[in-house]
């Protein structure tokens, strides 16, 4: 009887081996599904980047506004007969003095 039980356990183990550790096993399927999810995420990021570049190429091909905008922002170019003004915000190095009323003595005693 022990021999028959041992044979049945061995047969069941041989039948279970492909399910758990074989070529189409559950572990391999789970691993491949994880890889598919990662690739889909990577593909969606790349598709967004490609769509952005495609829109930029279409803008550059269709009109001069995109080219002009790029020349102004990246290269610092200006149009002919155009005056360029650069405004620089200056921060005062000393704090503003307190206003003094006329006729008051500001010298210490």
The answer to whether residue 20 is domain-embedded is no
Pairwise CA distance, residues 107 & 109, whole Å = 6
Domain that holds residue 72: 25-76
69 vs 52, more confident: 52
Q: How many structural domains does the chain have? A: 1
The answer to whether residue 56 is domain-embedded is yes
The answer to whether residue 29 is domain-embedded is yes
pLDDT band at 62 (very low <50, low <70, confident <90, very high): confident
Mean pLDDT of the chain: 83
Residue 20's H or E segment, with its range, is helix 2-21
The number of angstroms, rounded, from the C-alpha of 70 to the middle of its chain's C-alpha atoms is 22
The answer to whether residue 10 is domain-embedded is no
The yes-or-no verdict on residue 50 having pLDDT over 80 is yes
60 vs 49, more confident: 49
Pairwise CA distance, residues 19 & 23, whole Å = 8
What percent of the chain is modeled with pLDDT above 70?
83
The answer to whether residue 43 is domain-embedded is yes
Provide the whole-model pTM. 0.47
CB 71 within 8 A of CB 77: yes
The answer to whether residue 82 is domain-embedded is no
């Amino acid at each position: 009887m022990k021999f028959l039980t041992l044979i049945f356990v061995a047969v069941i183990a041989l039948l279970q081996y492909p399910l758990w550790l074989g070529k189409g096993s559950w572990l391999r399927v789970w691993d491949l599904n994880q890889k598919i999810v990662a690739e889909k995420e990577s593909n969606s990021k790349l598709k967004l980047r490609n769509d952005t570049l495609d829109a930029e190429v279409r803008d550059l091909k269709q009109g001069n506004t995109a080219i002009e905008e790029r020349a102004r922002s990246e290269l610092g170019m200006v149009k002919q007969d155009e005056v360029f003004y650069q405004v620089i915000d200056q921060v005062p190095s000393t704090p503003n003095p307190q206003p003094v009323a006329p006729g008051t003595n500001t010298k210490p005693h």
